[in-house]
Amino acid sequence: MSSISYKDAGVDIDAGNSFVENIKPFVKSTKIDGVLGGIGSFAGAFELPSGYQEPVILAGTDGVGTKLKLAIDSKKFDTVGIDLVAMCSNDLICNFGEPLFFLDYYATAKLEVDEASAVVQGIAQGCIRSQCALIGGETAEMPGMYKSGDFDLAGFCVGIAEKSQMDRVSKVKEGDVLIALPSSGIHSNGFSLVRKLLFEKLGMKFEDDFNGKPLIDTLLEPTRIYVKEFKDCKENINALAHITGGGIVENLPRVLPDNLKAVVYKDKVKVLPIFELMGKYVEESEMFRAFNMGVGMIFVVDPSQVDEVLNKTDGYIIGEIKSGAKGCDLL
């Protein structure tokens, strides 16, 4: 019997080594104070920043969902890495945590070095926008586990918060104002419905013109990262909610006490054109539960701080906090 190699089994060690060399500059571009060493060791290392009285370590993990399928089918790999970081770092700041570092997990049937490098370049860009460091990751080549051409992504973000600042629910009170920060697009939720409607039901194509550019560019517009706005407004906000799966109606109540409700005025929401298109075929209530509708993050702000927050961001007022059972009323 002739000998058999790992490459014959579908795993190319040389390709993996080439990939690591390709991504070293991307990783280096994210380096911030606290990073110890570089990639290539068995674990990433980060020195905790000083100045905290009661530091608490926060961690979040997420993926990109079926938006990844659109990236694979369209062969556009440079933005989903930004989405991956965004979904984690935007969650962290809702607990008043500042992102410190990020790690990724990339699993594929066969490692395509150029494709994987483009993904990691996007992850590095997401880390730069989140003001955190990419300190490591894992690439797994698993023929038989994934179909040819497929890959999956997961990400893990670690941040730090002052313990006394983490309880935001107790700071929310009647009369607080809801300030919406615009989303950049669909972000990374609801893509099973997007694909079902646009491509199966309506028969649209990636290259179809939508608002002056190919439809696929609108769909793959990366998730906006709100770390800078959070840091700029940290002292001016009572709470904040990341608007992901479940939309405004399910995410905003997560920062409310039991005796208060959010009232959001639908006519104040600056709905993006892609949602207007889909809204012609999907019930409004379903749209507000599946998508962000143009609102990626909501700040809950004391009335005395509203002007300050509006001056520091591109936000706008969409509602207020009122007495009532915890929930969200769309009026």
Mean pLDDT, residues 306-329 taken together: 97
Q: Which two tokens stand for residue 95?
A: 């607990």
Kind plus residue range of the DSSP H or E element containing 73: helix 67-74
Identify the burial level of 21 via C-beta atoms within 10 angstroms of its C-beta, where 0-12 means exposed, 13-18 middle and 19 or more buried: exposed
Amino acid at 98: E
CA distance 270 to 40: 46
The structural domains of the chain, ordered by start, are: 13-165 (3.30.1330.10), 169-330 (3.90.650.10)
CB distance 80 to 67 below 8 Å: yes
- Please give the DSSP secondary-structure letter assigned to residue 75: T
For 38-42, the CB contacts below 8 A with 24+ separation are 39/135, 39/136, 39/137
Residue 8 has pLDDT above 60, yes or no: no
pLDDT for the residue 268: 98
142 vs 261, which has greater pLDDT?
261
pLDDT for the residue 10: 60
Sequence-distant (≥ 6) Cβ neighbours of residue 317 within 8 angstroms? 177, 178, 179, 180, 268, 306, 310
214 pairs with which residues across the strands? 209
Mean pLDDT, rounded, of the chain: 94
Radius of gyration from C-alpha coordinates of the chain: 21
User: Which residue spans within the chain are E strands per DSSP?
Assistant: 35-36, 45-46, 55-62, 98-108, 133-141, 151-162, 177-182, 209-210, 213-214, 239-242, 260-264, 295-301, 316-323, 328-330
pLDDT for the residue 23: 84
**pLDDT tens-digit map of 251-295:** 999 999 999 999 999 999 999 999 999 999 999 999 999 999 999
Report the predicted TM-score, pTM, of the whole model to 2 decimal places: 0.95
**pLDDT tens-digit map of 205-242:** 999 999 999 999 999 999 999 999 999 999 999 999 99
**pLDDT tens-digit map of 167-193:** 999 999 999 999 999 999 999 999 999
For 33-41, the CB contacts below 8 A with 24+ separation are 34/100, 34/101, 34/133, 35/101, 35/133, 35/135, 39/135, 39/136, 39/137
pLDDT for the residue 149: 87
pLDDT for the residue 32: 92
CB distance 119 to 153 below 8 Å: yes
pLDDT for the residue 62: 96
CA distance 246 to 285: 11
CA distance 128 to 47: 18
Residue 162 has pLDDT above 60, yes or no: yes
Sequence-distant (≥ 6) Cβ neighbours of residue 12 within 8 angstroms? 6, 110, 111, 141
Give percent of the chain above pLDDT 90.
84
Give percent of the chain above pLDDT 70.
96
Mean pLDDT, residues 26-40 taken together: 86
CB distance 132 to 61 below 8 Å: no
CA distance 64 to 66: 7
Mean pLDDT, residues 301-327 taken together: 98
Q: Distances from the Cα of 146 to the Cαs of 45, 109, 110, 141, in angstroms?
A: 31, 5, 9, 9
**pLDDT tens-digit map of 38-55:** 777 788 899 999 999 999
CA distance 7 to 100: 37
Residue 311 has pLDDT above 90, yes or no: yes
